[in-house]
Homo-oligomer: A and B are copies of this chain.
């Protein structure tokens, strides 16, 4: 007997998600087939709703329900500093540490020659545009502390310094090779306190 095609199809699609292997995709698919229909609807609706409500903030590119996002439109925030992060998850992790009160900018990834991701695939031009407005005094580069994040930071530092803006990098606290998204709040606070000029 072969598996019904519609189950195969579902497994094949779920298998493409990050961190989901073939066995996991199979288990998830059969779980979905066993779930009460009401729960399946809740799952599908939550995805649909998230996709429909989701916007990218047109200033910082954070995921948000509003445009501009609540951070960019928050007048109590220090507007002379921008913290550059790879992803909205990284932004969230840093904001939870409550150490930083400036603005953010979501780069959308890091440079990765092996994956053919170059400067044009990131939002570097949009960042430059903001910096050319002349109100930003410091950019904190908070890309991950691994090799790709480091290379990206060095690349950005060169460009940003050329614009006459101070560049710092997250410092003490984060382990080498560490992923910002999974760092704890204290570690992130220390890293912001100990940031170094590049």
Question: What are the 5 tightest A-B residue pairs by CB atom distance, in nearest-first order?
Answer: A1-B95, A10-B46, A6-B50, A10-B50, A4-B65
Which residues of chain B are near A29, meaning CB under 8 Å? Answer: 50
Q: How far is the CB of A34 from chain B (nearest CB, A)?
A: 9
Bound CA span A92–B64, Å? 44
Name A96's closest neighbour in chain B (CB-CB): B1
**Residues on A close to B: CB < 8 A?**
1, 3-7, 9-10, 13-14, 17-20, 23-24, 26-33, 37, 40, 42-44, 46-51, 53-54, 63-65, 70-71, 87-89, 91-92, 95-96, 182
Which residues of chain B are near A32, meaning CB under 8 Å? Answer: 17, 47, 50-51
Name A62's closest neighbour in chain B (CB-CB): B1
Q: How far is the CB of A112 from chain B (nearest CB, A)?
A: 16
**CB-CB under 8 A for A50 and B9, given A1-B92, A89-B26:** yes
Which residues of chain B are near A64, meaning CB under 8 Å? Answer: 4
Which residues of chain B are near A65, meaning CB under 8 Å? Answer: 4-6
Cβ contact of A182, chosen from B18, B23, B54, B95, cutoff 8 A? B23
Q: Please tell me if the beta carbons of A31 and B18 are within 8 angstroms of each other in the complex.
A: yes
Q: How far is the CB of A91 from chain B (nearest CB, A)?
A: 8
Q: How far is the CB of A80 from chain B (nearest CB, A)?
A: 19
Which residues of chain B are near A4, meaning CB under 8 Å? Answer: 53-54, 63-65
**CB-CB under 8 A for A33 and B13, given A1-B71, A1-B92, A44-B44:** no
